[in-house]
Copies of this chain bind each other. A is one copy, B any other.
Amino acid sequence: MRTCYTGEVNKDYLDQTVTLFGWVHRRRDHGGVIFIDLRDRAGLAQIVVDPDNVDAFATAEDIRNEYCVRITGLVRLRPEGTGNPELASGEIEILCREIEVLNASVTPPFQLDDDNLSETTRLTHRVLDLRRPQMQRNLMLRYRVSIEVRKYLDNLGFIDIETPMLTKSTPEGARDYLVPSRVNAGEFFALPQSPQLFKQMLMVSGFDRYYQITKCFRDEDLRADRQPEFTQIDCETSFLNEEQIREIFEGMIRHVFATVQQVQLPDSFPTMTWEEAMRRFGSDKPDLRVKLEFVDVADLMQDVDFKVFSAPANDPASRVVALRVPGGAGMPRSEIDAYTKFVGIYGARGLAYIKVNDAASIPEGLQSPIVKNIHPEALRAMIARCGAQSGDLIFFGADKIKVVNDAIGALRVKIGHSEFGREHGLFEDGWQPLWVVDFPMFEYDEEEGRYFAAHHPFTSPKDGHEDYLETDPSRALAKAYDMVLNGWEMGGGSVRIHRADVQSKVFRALNIGAEEARNKFGFLLDALQYGAPPHGGVAFGLDRLVTMMAGAESIRDVIAFPKTQRAQCLLTQAPSAVDEKQLRELHIRLRSAEVKQ
């Protein structure tokens, strides 16, 4: 058996004989001596094979990269000046006494330390890709996060209860992955989009505090940070109110950061209403590291001679905002042009701006093609409201509310993260968590002409907002909350409806008739009738949390065997064609005309 992990041999083992298992990371001849960097999951150690040791030397001469070997040898100090302070084992080396090849390796298709591999190469050869120290660190970090989550929740009396993977299809929200039933011909299971209803039923059953770290499934068109299957830290508790629930779960995130990364997050996360977040940052997940804010100026622009501003300023469905960039007057024209192009991605038809050369002399001190179209009084009021100083730059968004929020919200983040933003103090590094609260209950879908649940249809309205469900759903706010960290939504949750009558009202507001509600959610409505307790919870995206903590570029870098954006596994070649016999047993056939050959 091994003495310790290869990466852990250090001066404590000096003059001892150790046995190590690992892979040959690098092998080089140097002055007639063979040096092997041996690697395992804990790191590297340097092995020295002397030509005096004839057997070991002969073996070492034949060894190539990625051979799996057992090495026994004496731990000694490296010669002065040859240490490697980056390694835990950097002060010592192991003088090889015995070496055994446990398994040879063909030449790998790439160097493990090549940082410029295409993702296709990496995912096709995932087994080798996972050997790379960065991937080892990422998955180790992921594990530490999950085990610390469990420790924290266990201490608070939460219990892990498994909910089914083969569940019922309820086509709301995202597309389900379906599983044809063999025993029940013509029927299908669905893979869970979340254990939402099961965890609510567990609360009704009296389990009081539940959690699960579990796979969820959504058959969506994949964006950069989505996977068909993803992992959720799913939690629910009874008898607590919104604030108490948030306190427990921000404590969990604090605990994880403190124990896994020795990072101390704030003692209490700030909360911000959804309304305020949208008003100030155009986003329900604002990156608070960026020190830029929206300033609404529609009321000042209603009577200007500039249709681009005055039209949205007079339309309640539109918004006119200014985004003051301190010190931005010096921003090069090319950068402004690039931003103009950038906001186009979000549907903005242009990007008006004003350079404030001299804030004391308006309009002369302002430089912009649009200044001439806006009367000085409006300019003066706008400059004052923005608090603009000489040397600042002001960008404008004027369009439908969603376009302005998306475009100027993205611009705000882009400028903050840019070299310019960092140099001008518009970006403050660190971890900036917050809770966004008081989300609207519903979002109106213009195309379909009906309301959809903003969170999900089991979310409780705020106290006093129940009547709005029938009178004016758009005014109803929800006991829903998202935890946001540096512009990423880490998790979200809500207090749930625990009364059958309120649940029915919400279904009505969503245009879900009594019969449809019974068909889809009858088991929940039934459960609510038997003394359902007040309850609520939260779900965190583990993939995303770990991606952030690892500083990784993609959630695929913190998942052992991820799918591509075409939802394929390049390693195993899944999905794949199956035997006709299998389809027959499942009572289905292919729509062959549509199937590629």
Q: Which A residues form the contact surface with B (CB < 8 A)?
A: 1-2, 5, 21-24, 39-41, 66-68, 70, 102-106, 108, 126-128, 130-131, 136, 139-140, 142-143, 146-147, 150, 154, 159-169, 171, 175-191, 197-198, 201-202, 204-208, 215, 217, 219, 228-229, 231, 238-240, 244, 498-499, 523, 526-534, 559-561, 563, 566-569, 571-579, 582, 584-592, 594-596
- Cα–Cα distance between A363 and B204 once the two chains are bound (Å): 70
Given A161-B143, A215-B165, A582-B176, also A575-B130 (CB < 8 A): no
Which 8 A/B pairs are nearest by Cβ-Cβ distance? Answer: A186-B595, A130-B205, A105-B531, A168-B574, A187-B575, A68-B531, A181-B575, A143-B159
- The one of B66, B187, B530, B585 in contact with A128, judged by C-beta atoms closer than 8 angstroms, is B530
- The one of B163, B238, B596 in contact with A21, judged by C-beta atoms closer than 8 angstroms, is B238
- The one of B41, B108, B176, B205 in contact with A530, judged by C-beta atoms closer than 8 angstroms, is B108
Contact B533 A68 (CB under 8 A): yes
- Cα–Cα distance between A131 and B533 once the two chains are bound (Å): 13
Q: A528 to chain B: which residues have CB within 8 Å? A: 103
Given contacts A39-B206, A104-B531, 12 further A-B contacts (CB under 8 A): A40-B208, A103-B531, A130-B206, A136-B207, A140-B159, A147-B154, A163-B561, A165-B217, A165-B229, A168-B569, A175-B585, A180-B180
Q: A531 to chain B: which residues have CB within 8 Å? A: 23-24, 66-68, 102-105
- Cα–Cα distance between A103 and B523 once the two chains are bound (Å): 17
Contact B591 A590 (CB under 8 A): no
Contact A167 B574 (CB under 8 A): yes
- Cα–Cα distance between A283 and B526 once the two chains are bound (Å): 47
- Cα–Cα distance between A537 and B152 once the two chains are bound (Å): 29
Contact B189 A41 (CB under 8 A): no
A161, closest chain B residue (CB): B560
Contact B568 A184 (CB under 8 A): yes
Q: A594 to chain B: which residues have CB within 8 Å? A: 185-186, 587
Q: A166 to chain B: which residues have CB within 8 Å? A: 177, 217, 228-229, 563, 569, 574-575
- The one of B102, B184, B208, B585 in contact with A41, judged by C-beta atoms closer than 8 angstroms, is B208
Q: A171 to chain B: which residues have CB within 8 Å? A: 578-579, 582
- Cα–Cα distance between A163 and B560 once the two chains are bound (Å): 7
Contact B169 A106 (CB under 8 A): no
Contact B587 A595 (CB under 8 A): yes
- Cα–Cα distance between A530 and B573 once the two chains are bound (Å): 19
Most-contacted residue by chain B among A140, A177, A534 (CB, 10 A): A177
Given A205-B127, A590-B186, also A575-B168 (CB < 8 A): yes
Q: Please give the distance in Å from A112's CB to the nearest CB on chain B.
A: 10
Contact B186 A596 (CB under 8 A): yes
Give the copy number.
2
15 contacts between A and B (CB under 8 A): A21-B533, A23-B206, A24-B531, A130-B202, A166-B177, A168-B573, A171-B582, A175-B182, A184-B567, A184-B575, A186-B595, A189-B575, A197-B572, A523-B572, A588-B591
Contact A198 B561 (CB under 8 A): yes
Given A143-B161, A561-B164, also A204-B127 (CB < 8 A): yes
Q: A39 to chain B: which residues have CB within 8 Å? A: 206
Given A102-B533, A587-B595, also A161-B185 (CB < 8 A): no
Q: A217 to chain B: which residues have CB within 8 Å? A: 165-166
A21, closest chain B residue (CB): B239
- The one of B178, B206, B530 in contact with A179, judged by C-beta atoms closer than 8 angstroms, is B178
Q: A190 to chain B: which residues have CB within 8 Å? A: 574, 578
A526, closest chain B residue (CB): B127
Contact B587 A587 (CB under 8 A): no
Given A168-B576, A530-B127, also A560-B591 (CB < 8 A): no
A571, closest chain B residue (CB): B523
A143, closest chain B residue (CB): B159
Q: A571 to chain B: which residues have CB within 8 Å? A: 201, 523
Q: A596 to chain B: which residues have CB within 8 Å? A: 185-186
Q: Please give the distance in Å from A230's CB to the nearest CB on chain B.
A: 10
- Cα–Cα distance between A184 and B573 once the two chains are bound (Å): 12
Given A229-B164, A576-B188, also A130-B175 (CB < 8 A): no
Contact A577 B167 (CB under 8 A): no
Contact B187 A68 (CB under 8 A): no
Q: Please give the distance in Å from A88's CB to the nearest CB on chain B.
A: 16
A140, closest chain B residue (CB): B159
- Cα–Cα distance between A186 and B592 once the two chains are bound (Å): 8
Contact A68 B582 (CB under 8 A): no
A185, closest chain B residue (CB): B595
- Cα–Cα distance between A439 and B177 once the two chains are bound (Å): 39
Contact B146 A160 (CB under 8 A): yes
A69, closest chain B residue (CB): B531
Given A21-B239, A589-B589, also A130-B207 (CB < 8 A): yes
- Cα–Cα distance between A165 and B229 once the two chains are bound (Å): 7
Given A66-B530, A588-B588, also A159-B179 (CB < 8 A): no
Q: Please give the distance in Å from A141's CB to the nearest CB on chain B.
A: 10
Contact A2 B239 (CB under 8 A): yes
